[in-house]
Amino acid sequence: MKTTIEIANQTIEVNLSNPLDISIPLRASQQNPLAWYQEEPEMKPVRMGDWIGKVSEGGSVNFNNVFFNPHAHGTHTESFGHISKEFYSVNEALKTFFFLAEVISVKSEKVGDDEIISEESISKALKGKTPEGVVIRTLPNPISKKSKHWSNTNWPYLDEKAALYLREIGVKHLLIDLPSVDREHDGGKLLAHRGFWNYPDNPRHNCTITEMIYIPDSIADGSYLLNLQMASFENDASPSKPVLYAVRGMKQSI
């Protein structure tokens, strides 16, 4: 189903019947991605006396309790409330759900014992574009990212200058295929989070960071319509489902 949409002063044509889901499903399994030293999520049927919420064991319905951490267990979207003393919900940050976004692939650079994603690599990949959303695929890109146990791996992270650059060019929604835009062990500095959100000086209330996505190699770098879907959690972060749609015929709206 092809349709024409006006968004961000652009007229675009998209095929809404061909969604490209870049989220990672939540599973109660060791095959689920894990970060921040957490065990796998739990999904267990409710038991009340002789009643069990599992049809295969005699219950009338399947009725599970679910225990998980948005930051540790899969694709999630967060607001600056993730790093603020004051409570600020991601449900307040995200009020519109469609954005023009650019998918870029970048290689990290070795700096000491770390792998850094630099301002230069992002600027080069964007080629002068200034979209509302930037979706970062780090290279190499094995499918094992979808089930990787990230704790104590010192994953690649966004240099503070790169986060400031994204803020300066007007990017509102940053998505990346890592557990965090910041270094795993950084002493609580969180420089990339703070730089992107401009916290605490003048927090960008309507901006989000989405982490632990997976962008398969079949999705080429380029411009997309991003539908950033999210559960309505009153929390600093929520599990989310970013979906891309390939863009055709982009024109400046009058």
Assign 118 a pLDDT band (cuts: 50, 70, 90): very high
CA distance 136 to 125: 10
Domain of 139 in residue numbering reads as 2-28+70-252
Task: Copy the structure tokens of residue 80.
Answer: 């600056």
Q: How many domains does the chain have?
A: 1
pTM of the model: 0.96
Given a cut of 90, whether residue 134 has pLDDT beyond it is: yes
CA distance 183 to 202: 23
34 found inside a domain? no
Task: Copy the structure tokens of residue 44.
Answer: 């267990």
User: Treating both helix axes as pointing N-terminal to C-terminal, what angle do 160-168 and 119-126 enclose, rounded to 10 degrees?
Assistant: 40
108 found inside a domain? yes
pLDDT digits (tens, 9 = 90+) for 230-239: 999 999 999 9
61 found inside a domain? no
